[in-house]
Amino acid sequence: MENFFGHLKEEMFHRVRFLSTDALAVHLNEYIRWYDTNRISTKLEGLSPVQYSAQALAA
C-alpha cells in the first residue's frame, strides 16, 4: 500500500489543486481505474495488473 500511495502522490497530486471534494473524488476514482487497468509495471513483466492476472489465469 505504501508503494501505491507513493505513486498516487507523485502522479496525481503534484502541481494540482482540487477546488472541491467532489472533483477530488472523481479524479481519484479515475486514477485508481487507470492504475489497475492501464498502468504498466516492470514488476509484472511489463504488463498492467489486469493483463498480468488474465495471463496467470490462462496458464
Q: How many helices (H) and strands (E) does the chain have?
A: 3, 0
User: How far is CA 23 from each of CA 32, 39, 45, 58, rounded to the nearest angstrom?
Assistant: 14, 22, 34, 38
Structural domain for 42, as ranges: 2-58
By three-state DSSP, how is residue 5 classified?
helix
Distance CA 43, CA 15 (A): 28
What is the number of structural domains in the chain? Answer: 1
- Give 59 or 33, the one with higher predicted confidence: 33
What is the tens place of the pLDDT at every residue in 3-51? 888 888 888 887 888 899 999 999 999 999 998 888 888 888 898 888 9
**pLDDT the model gives residue 25:** 95
